[in-house]
């Protein structure tokens, strides 16, 4: 097995986020579930909701793309595979991710549908309610995979969101095979409870077959995956099935369990929660960066907590601080 040229190579939805502030009344009027993600199934539906948004800002997003952007900001070497269309949003996404120092060479998809977009409504308490039109991202074909790139990454990181469409689901299964053949680790994030409701059987099979080395979940996702009623019972059920389990609990911090050893960290304190968009993505960035650098569970968790705190202190799911300097300050390093 050759030394990896990349710390993490991720496969995920290539999305441009459009963020705007709103109030709880608007969320209720539009029939949204506050703090959750729902899919929009046509560009017309996305256009209609976009027309109701207040002034917003466009920021490249997508769960796994946010994670590798965070790792790159920490100094890690990353690659990304995801599908965009030949349109303005696709060009915005490519520019942003390449500008972050991330290798992204997936061939653009001509014609319709457009590049994916996520309309994010942020309420005064910082909660984000997401409405996603997957567009071109749900048509990532197996043939678009850069096999050499996948084999060159120490860790292959996959997002549960992309498991929903059939074509990228096949591509991710192939990517797992490529990573396994190259002797690399596979990390997987469950992404959302709705992903588990639709594909929990697939996820449990991946775990049972020993194909997942690092599993990321928040508290509700882990409970849904384990099909139990409380967090600790879920941890006890899932942790023995994966080499590393990482579970986040918002203001209650996070835990990791590896081969029976458990580590916990509190949430990193901040002055105010501005926008929770990308909190889990950046927690994964910090943790994976720590693992890629050979750190233990507790330090990797702490890195995750610091990254998550930085993200929720401003709008958008990409870091705005000098992350290397922030980590040095928080961990007391020179």
CATH 3.40.1190.20 fits 6-14+62-113+136-331, yes or no: yes
What are the structural domain ranges in the chain?
Answer: 6-14+62-113+136-331
Give the N- to C-terminal CA distance of the chain in Å, as an integer: 34
* 43 confidence band (pLDDT: 50, 70, 90): confident
Please give the pLDDT value at position 83: 97
* Total Cβ atoms within 10 A of residue 16: 23
DSSP 10: E
Half-sphere exposure (CA, 13 Å, Cβ side) for 202?
A: 17
Task: Give the mean model confidence (pLDDT) for residues 90-117.
Answer: 95
* Non-local CB neighbours of 28 within 8 Å, separated by 6+ positions: none
**In this predicted model, what pLDDT tens digit does every residue of 213-231 receive, in sequence order?**
999 999 999 999 999 999 9
* 276 confidence band (pLDDT: 50, 70, 90): confident
pTM: 0.91
């Amino acid at each position: 097995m050759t030394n990896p040229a990349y710390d993490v190579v991720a496969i995920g939805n290539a999305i441009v986020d459009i963020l705007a502030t709103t109030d709880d009344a608007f969320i209720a009027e539009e029939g949204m579930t506050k703090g959750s993600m729902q899919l929009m199934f046509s560009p017309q539906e996305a256009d209609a909701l976009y027309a109701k948004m207040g002034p917003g800002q466009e920021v490249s997003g997508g769960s796994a793309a946010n994670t590798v952007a965070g790792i790159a900001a920490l100094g890690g070497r990353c690659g990304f595979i995801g599908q965009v269309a030949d349109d303005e949003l696709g060009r915005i996404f490519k520019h942003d991710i390449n500008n972050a120092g991330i290798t992204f060479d997936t061939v653009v998809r001509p014609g319709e549908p457009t590049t994916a977009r996520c309309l994010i409504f942020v309420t005064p308490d910082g909660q984000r309610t997401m409405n996603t039109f997957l567009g071109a991202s749900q048509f990532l074909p197996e043939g678009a995979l850069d096999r050499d790139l996948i084999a060159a990454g120490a860790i292959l990181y996959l997002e549960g969101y992309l498991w929903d469409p059939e074509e990228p689901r096949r591509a991710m299964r192939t990517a797992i095979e490529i990573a396994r053949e190259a002797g690399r680790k596979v990390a997987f994030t469950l992404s959302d409870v709705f992903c588990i409701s639709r594909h929990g059987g697939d996820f449990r099979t991946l775990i049972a077959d020993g194909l997942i080395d690092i599993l990321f979940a928040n508290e509700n996702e882990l409970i849904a995956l384990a099909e139990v009623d409380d967090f600790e019972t879920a941890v006890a059920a899932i942790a023995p099935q994966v080499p590393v389990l990482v579970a986040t609990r918002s203001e209650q911090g996070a835990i990791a369990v590896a081969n029976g050893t458990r580590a916990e960290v509190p949430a990193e304190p901040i002055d105010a929660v501005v926008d929770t968009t990308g909190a889990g993505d950046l927690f994964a960035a910090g943790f994976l960066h720590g693992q890629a650098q050979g750190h233990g569970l507790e330090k990797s968790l702490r890195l995750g907590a610091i990254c998550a705190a930085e993200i929720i202190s401003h709008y958008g799911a990409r870091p705005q601080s000098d992350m290397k300097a922030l980590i040095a300050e928080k961990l007391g390093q020179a």
